[in-house]
Amino acid sequence: MAKRTNQKTNPRLSNLIAMLKDTARENDAKIWRVIAQSLEAPSTNYAEVNIGKINRYAQDGETVLVPGKVLGSGVLDQKVSVAALNFSESAIIKITGLEGNCMTIEELVAANPKGSGVRILR
């Protein structure tokens, strides 16, 4: 039987966690430390957020961060920018259909290293 470790085997995820911790330290931005801790947890605990929940809790023009996957169930009737680890194809279609923006967490950190004006949904 193989020995289990808490090491992430996905190199993208390992690099993302390290980058989030560095950015949090450099910019004194607690939001990136919180996201790094969420992503260090087992992947079964990652957030899975539906479009309907984003529509309920986000304001028009707001930036939303999901430390997990965005799923396409529900209706979106406002323009939002969404950053997540992964997106389902139907979620991408619904978000971009209203001229919203789908981006990776890495892209959001590069664009907003302070993390200001970002709403976390889990």
- Please say whether the dihedral angle defined by the alpha carbons of residues 29, 30, 35 and 40, taken in this order, is positive or negative: positive
Residue range 15-38: mean pLDDT, rounded: 96
Give 1 or 114, the one with higher predicted confidence. 114
Determine the Cα–Cα distance for residues 47 and 83; give it in Å rounded to an integer: 13
Domains and their CATH numbers in the chain:
11-120 (3.100.10.10)
Residue range 19-45: mean pLDDT, rounded: 96
**pLDDT recorded at residue 5:** 64
Give residue-wise pLDDT tens across range 87-111: 999 999 999 999 999 999 999 999 9
Count other C-beta atoms under 10 Å from residue 9's C-beta: 7
Give residue-wise pLDDT tens across range 2-13: 666 668 899 999
Determine the Cα–Cα distance for residues 26 and 56; give it in Å rounded to an integer: 33
